[in-house]
Copies of this chain bind each other. A is one copy, B any other.
Amino acid sequence: MTQSLSSQLAVTAPIDLSRYDSRATTGFDGKKADAKKGLAAIGEELADLQEKLFAGGRAGTSPARVLVVLQGMDTAGKGGIVKHVAGLVDPQGLAITSFKKPTPEELEHDFLWRIEKALPEPGMIGIFDRSHYEDVLIGKVRQLAGPEEIERRYAAINDFEQAFTDSGGVIIKCFLHITTDDQKQRLAARLEDPAKYWKYDSGDLDERMLWDDYQRAYAVALTRCTSQDAPWHLVPSGHKWYRNWAVAMLLLERLRAMDLRWPEASFDVETEKKRLAAL
């Protein structure tokens, strides 16, 4: 039996990110063109399962909901996943949140306050483009909080995610792994193409200067906050086509495992048929 992609990419022990190949194509047997075909095939099954998930939420018969957490250095492809993977399903069933620098109001609350408010409702697939993990990443690297508070946050995140999964939520956490060379190429491409200037922020270079600090912060976060119910996945993202395929497959594997079913009728079908026939 083939191992699931989730088990192949799951983080289960302390890691050193510099030892991972961003161009790996773990679990995928083929080339770029095959991945595009594979993605389209995944898309059809995803769309079917997503409709069942959505139906359960709409009918109020199931608390099931899904949250995809996307993290990665700038240019790793968080936006690309939203477009190419989330774009495979009915947008009505998506709740996409892109987390920016916290507002003054958000800063007045615990770091999980704004996250809680953005959790998907039953039936929905939530996508977090950045997330509560920023608070142990930039929060740690830029020392926006002291060491004790950062320490507290790992545990708070684990409790928070456990509560989510205990209440019918499924969480899929993807770290989109690229190297400093991958990022250099992609930032350069943004500076070459006027159609991509809007994606470029000169602040990105300030963060790039702290690359090693971020990699260490990621390694800690991925290790401290991975569990059976809410594992982190290390998704090699040097090849965009592999990255898209892999995240779509991780989502598909989880949806398949949810054993989603169409809700039962909440009315008497024969009675309604007769009523309709008379109208």
Chain A residues within CB distance 8 Å of chain B? 55-56, 58-59, 79, 82-83, 86-87, 90-92, 94, 96, 98, 129, 184, 187-188, 191, 194-195, 197-200, 202, 205, 208-209, 262-267, 269, 272-273, 275-276, 279
Query: Residue A269 contacts which of B82, B83, B197 (CB distance < 8 angstroms)?
Result: B197
Establish whether residues A262 and B197, one from each chain, have CB atoms under 8 Å apart when the complex forms: yes
A91-B83, A91-B96, A92-B83 as given contacts; A195 in contact with B279, CB under 8 Å: no
A200 interface neighbour in B82, B92, B267, Cβ under 8 Å = B267
Q: A262-B194, A262-B197 are in contact. Are A276 and B90 (CB under 8 A)?
A: no
What residues on B are CB-neighbors of A90 within 8 Å?
A: 82-83, 87
Quote the shortest CB–CB distance from A163 to chain B (angstroms). 26
Chain B residues lying within 8 Å of A199, measured Cβ to Cβ, are 55
Chain B: CB-nearest residue to A61: B198
Q: How far is the CA of A190 from the CA of B262 in the complex (A)?
A: 13
Q: Give chain B residues whose Cβ lies under 8 Å from the Cβ of A262.
A: 194-195, 197-198
Q: How far is the CA of A209 from the CA of B275 in the complex (A)?
A: 11
A55 and B201 alpha carbons, distance in the complex (Å):
13
Docked complex Cα distance between A87 and B89 (Å): 8
In the complex, are the beta carbons of B187 and A276 less than 8 A apart? yes
Question: Which residues in B have their C-beta under 8 angstroms from that of A264?
Answer: 197
- A272 CA to B191 CA in the complex, in Å? 8
Interface contact B276-A184, CB-CB below 8 Å: yes
Given A82-B92, A188-B276, 16 more contacts at CB 8 Å? A58-B198, A82-B91, A83-B91, A83-B92, A87-B91, A91-B96, A92-B98, A92-B129, A191-B272, A197-B263, A197-B264, A198-B262, A202-B267, A202-B275, A205-B276, A205-B279
